[in-house]
Structure formats: C-alpha cells, structure tokens
Amino acid sequence: MKIYIDGKYYAREDAVISVFDHGLLYGDGVFEGIRIYNGKVFKLTEHIERLFQSAKAIHLDITMKKGEMEAAVLEAVKINRKDNGYIRLIVTRGVGPLGIEPTTCKKPTVIIIISDIQLYPQGYYKKGIEIVTASSKRMPSDCLDPRIKSLNYLNNIMAKIEAKNAGCLEAVMLNKEGFVAECTGDNIFIVKNRELFTPAPYHGALDGITMETVIDLGTSLGFKMHQAALTRYDLYNADECFMTGTGAEIIPVVRIDQRVIGNGKPGEITKKLIKKFKDLVM
C-alpha cells in the first residue's frame, strides 16, 4: 500500500502527519469516500465537486485545482494497482499551533488512501439487516449543514455505539424535530405503494452520491421518487426499506426497532435497484 500525502507516496508504516494538524486536533477538514470498480473510479468528478463544495463551506482553501485533484486520485489508484476497492480522500486545515484559529494553518494537508472496504457481511445483502433508532440526534442543520462532509463524525459515532449495544449493525438518526435524517453512515429509503421516499438534506441527510444514483436508477425504472419529511411511523409502515452509501452500496433493511418491514424479506423494488446498481458499476 502506497499512501499519498501532499504529493509524495509513503508505505503504510511511514504514512504519518503532524500531531499539530488541525484535522487531528479539531476535526477541521473534509473528506470523500469513493469506490473503485473494475479499475474505474466511480463518480469521481461528482466526489471531487462535493469535496470542493464542502471545503468552500468551511472556508478551507484547497490549493490544488479540481483537475489536479482528480489526476492525483487516478495516479494513486494506478500506483496501488487496485481494480476493486475504496478511496479515502482527505483534506485537513493543515498544521498550526494549538487553538482553533484556522488562519494559523498555512497550508492544507491532502491525503489519499487506497484500500479495501466491506462494511457488512455479504449474507446481509440477501437477507437484509435490522436497525434501531438512536437516541443521539442528528446535528441540526442550523449548526452544521449536513451537506458538508467533515472530518468530525462524533455525532454519528455515538449513534453507531447505540446500534452495536442493541446488537445491530446500524442505527437511524432523527433530527431535533423528530424527522428521519439518515443512518450513521448511509442514507435511508423507504418504498410505499411502489413509490420511493428519502429524507431531504434540510432534514439532516447527507446529499449522498450513491443516494442520487439510486434516485436516477429508480426514475429510469419508472418509479416516482420523493425527498420528503419522514417519521418513524413512516419507516415502520413501509413496504420496503433500504440504505445506500459508497461503502454499503444498497443494503435491505427488514426490521426497525423490532418492527418487521413488509414481509420481513428484501423487497421486489429493492432487489431491482440492487441489480440495476450492479449493472451500472460492473
């Protein structure tokens, strides 16, 4: 494994950053998770665009141009000879003295890691998973816009701990008004009367690239798609439910808070979308 840090490559054991990097000290930075399928980077342009938008939102000046960043990612994939895998692209505020003042960091740190990822055991894609509602609420949009993919994931981690304590792999998070936002690392969809619904970003959902891909796939299959306000009531009474994300892809949800969703098996529309997504990336 060769890890890119600020234009140079390092072996895994030698890939280090300063303890004074504000990404480490304060979670001050942004990132993207990107998949590689059959040697091709999936939706790279869209991921780079979102990275730069996140950086702009937190007033972080990425010193590279978008084209240069894309080229760096593609070079890292080539050097690591990875045909199928996962890319973690990170930009931190950079090295600076103690204290949260961002202008003391003179240059951002850019890191590209090429590795493998498997969030869920393969069997769960066929039989579905069970999730619970976390008591940890999603960070309010008026505090931090959910479209910013920042390095500070503690809010999601606390909800993930609740899921693990409940014997589940995932948890769904609500916003402070009680509407469904997202899961700890994935977007969530439901199917009701052969129409698909997912929370809108202003309810606390990340504007996911896999989510947008699934919306496009659903539309191409003739299903009506809605970004809507959802509550737990809507989840419990859904005909089908599934999660989407770069790492998870599309994974069925068959139980929520011990309520069986639909017939307790991955639904027909969910399976169609999984097949359509596999056809797209393979």
Kindly list the catalytic residues.
Answer: 149
What backbone phi and psi angles, to 5 degrees, belong to 61? -90, 105
- Give the angle subtended at the CA of 105 by the CAs of 100 and 109, to the nearest 5°: 110
**What kind and span of H or E run contains 109?**
strand 109-115
The SS3 call for residue 179 is: coil
Please give the angle made by the CA atoms of 156, 160 and 164, to the nearest 5 degrees.
175
Measure Cα distances from 274 to 6, 242, 243, 251 in Å.
Answer: 37, 10, 11, 8
Burial of 158 (0-12, 13-18, 19+ CB in 10 A): middle
Question: Distance between CA atoms of 156 and 51, rounded to whole angstroms?
Answer: 19
